[in-house]
Amino acid sequence: MGEYQNIHVSIEDRIAILTIDHPPANAFDTQTVTELYQAFNEALQNDEVKVIIITGAGQFAFVAGADINEINKLKGYEDAKEVVLKGQELFNIIENSPKPVIAAINGVCLGGGNELAMACHIRIASDRARFGQPEINLGIMPGWGGTQRLPRLLGKGKAFELLLTGDMITAQEAYRIGLVNKVVPAGEVLKAAKDLAKKIASKGKLAIEAIIDAVNKGMEMSLKDGLLYEADRFARLCETEDMREGVRAFLEKRQPQFKDR
């Protein structure tokens, strides 16, 4: 993996951990977004990596939002749209990654940070984390997917409330409304994410990829078309060595040894 200034990368047990480290609040400036884009794509292309975790350095912030100084320097429509589309491209890659992506939310998760977390497949939060889309307080709106992913996760009513007030919510409230999957004590977020990643990494790669693909594509289809797509992916898996190993291991009452083929 490459060397970066604002992103630290480590790989263990087939898990890539991408840590955003841009003091004091891990804000998203152009360099950090570019480095995360590069590091994430390296992890995607690395055959030794089966699951990806994204977290923030320290315990104060996951990502506290976009760099306000850079927003202040935007010159107009074309300049602003270019910045927005670059962030959207990165988050779309994350959301559609065939490798599961877990957000280990260690602290404040606002604006672009919350949009990053929502692009991940699973979110684990510190009990001290805070969430929100405060862009409206700056006279703007989310541009990296906040108006699209938030209502898909929470429903329109709750999404409108968060988007139109700019209010922050606690990790416990985020769990209650379905924004995060789990809340753990501060300091245990990365461990919890690693434990979950190890469990997922023990499963067959082909089934993992098929499930992510079926969920993501099915969300954009009618139920009828989604069911047909699911049936196709299921049938394809039934032709794999992993399927035969999984069924045989179940019948023999042992753990399966998947070969990802």
Distance CA 257, CA 216 (A): 27
Distance CA 60, CA 20 (A): 12
Residues involved in catalysis: 115, 135
Please provide residue 149's backbone torsions phi and psi, each rounded to the nearest 5 degrees. Answer: -80, -35
Distance CA 204, CA 255 (A): 12
In this structure, what token pair is assigned to residue 14? 């087939």
Per-residue DSSP letter, 21: -
Q: What is the CA radius of gyration of the chain?
A: 19
What region does 214 belong to: left with phi over 0, alpha with psi -120 to 50, or beta?
alpha
Nearest by Cα to 168 from 114, 206, 221, 218: 114
Distance CA 232, CA 235 (A): 5
